Chains A and B, each alone.
Chain A
Amino acid sequence: MSVNGRGAMAPTLTNAELDSLREFWDVYEPQFARVGSELAEDVAAHPELSHFVGAGDNGEVAENRDRIAQAIRGRDWGPYLTDMTATGARYAEAGLSFSSWFATGRALRSKLVPLLVEALHSDPERLAQAVRGVSIFIDLVLVAVGDSYIEAKERIITEQQDVLRGLSTPVLELRSGLLLVPLIGFIDSERALLLTGNLLEAIAARRAKAIVLDITGVPAVDSAVANHLMQTVQATQLMGAHTLISGLSPENAQTLVRLGLDLARLNTVGTLADGVVAATGILRAAEARAAEYETALG
């Protein structure tokens, strides 16, 4: 028995499993509405679940029952699993914990088993089969909900990562032609690539001539980080811009020297203020050149 891939796919069930499910459903179906309302009462008492799981009106209950019947009798699991998938996604988005959702599965099981015993106690073999059917049914539901729950959680995480990535490399325009990139936190290769890409786009878009890359907020600068920075600096040079690196701490400077890296191309200056002054000088020179050229053209 397995629910392949996405939640809405039909599970592969053996004939024995289908028989078990049918045995259980024959008992459960007539009691469906009553068990549902009992469950809803229990759930209402649960601190977390009560916010998410409503009792549902009679129409919804009947629809839900028909979907299950269609799945177990008609072997068409599509509508029911689609519904469960939507439920899982809703729980994930609402921040319901996984254990709370499992608690409803447990509650359902503890309601159903006494029902089955009462109906089938004269025939132990059928009773055993029906109890197996309960397990199969609850497993299927939990897997469908769980799959989409995890999928929705992953989607949320990816979205948040995108947001964080956008935040992690802001490119600020201090004045026309002068960009400031304050780097804070650890720099890994992914972040370095993103930074380089953003910066190059910004150079093209804002016609920047000078860039100050401030690494005061970067806790550790090792050879990998230095190489990333060097690549960034070189890439900006290819576009005719000058990049200065400011805020290298004394400890990091010593580390880099001890590593024996060739840092001449890093163009480091002391503080951010020094960087801005130096960059402004570069910018002035570029502006003077442009003005001079325009005058020469007449």
Chain B
Amino acid sequence: MGIPILKQGTTLIVSLQAEPTDAEFVELQQDLTVRVTQTHARGVIIDVTALDVLDSFATRTLREIAQTVTLCGARAAIVGVQPEVAFAMAQLGLSLEGTLTALDLEDGLALLHAMPSAALVT
């Protein structure tokens, strides 16, 4: 059983609890892409509130997930990056550029709701 993906309306929500292994991250990427296509989801939210570290592999995978999801016609937002995590990432030069970010799940949902779906962006 991989990381659970919840569906709320047209949004898929993934709440990462413990720091996923690299393999789990890869699996999540595949699962999410399939689910977006199956459910015609408009948005994907990945909540990292519980994580106290995001290394370079995690950062890259999150960026890739966002890009893949965008290609499938939805928008992805990473939410809940903790201050210490953001601090460490900036120090290491890791960024989530090109992905949407929000303070928490609530803000993320509002952000995605306000976004036109990727296909409509010219």
Interface residues of A (CB under 8 A from B): 196-197, 200-201, 203-204, 207, 209, 231-232, 234-241, 286, 288-290, 292-294, 296
Evaluate contact between B95 and A293: CB separation under 8 angstroms. no
Evaluate contact between A236 and B111: CB separation under 8 angstroms. no
Please count how many residues in chain B sit with their CB below 8 Å of the partner chain's CB atoms.
26
| Chain A residues near B102 (CB-CB < 8 A) | 240
Evaluate contact between A236 and B86: CB separation under 8 angstroms. yes
Per the 8 Å Cβ criterion, residues 12-71 of B in contact with A are: none
Evaluate contact between B86 and A293: CB separation under 8 angstroms. no
Evaluate contact between A292 and B86: CB separation under 8 angstroms. no
Q: Residue on B with the closest CB to A207?
A: B103
Q: Residue on A with the closest CB to B93?
A: A231
**Is B113 engaged at the interface, CB distance under 8 Å to the other chain?**
yes
Give 21 pairs: A residue, B residue, CB < 8 Å, sorted on A. A200-B83, A200-B86, A203-B83, A204-B103, A209-B103, A234-B90, A234-B95, A235-B89, A238-B86, A238-B90, A239-B83, A239-B103, A240-B101, A240-B103, A288-B114, A289-B113, A289-B114, A292-B113, A292-B114, A293-B113, A293-B114
| Chain A residues near B78 (CB-CB < 8 A) | 238
In the complex, A207 Cα to B80 Cα: how many Å? 11
| Chain B residues near A288 (CB-CB < 8 A) | 114
Q: Residue on B with the closest CB to A204?
A: B83
In the complex, A258 Cα to B75 Cα: how many Å? 38
Give the Cβ gap from A245 to chain B, nearest Cβ, in Å.
Answer: 15
In the complex, A290 Cα to B110 Cα: how many Å? 5
Give the Cβ gap from B86 to chain A, nearest Cβ, in Å.
Answer: 4
Evaluate contact between A232 and B90: CB separation under 8 angstroms. yes
Per the 8 Å Cβ criterion, residues 71-122 of B in contact with A are: 78-79, 81-87, 89-91, 95-97, 101-103, 106-111, 113-114
Q: Which listed residue (B91, B95, B97, B107) contacts A240, Cβ 8 A?
A: B107
| Chain A residues near B83 (CB-CB < 8 A) | 197, 200-201, 203-204, 239
Q: Residue on A with the closest CB to B113?
A: A293
Evaluate contact between A239 and B86: CB separation under 8 angstroms. yes
| Chain B residues near A238 (CB-CB < 8 A) | 78, 81, 85-86, 89-90, 95-96, 101
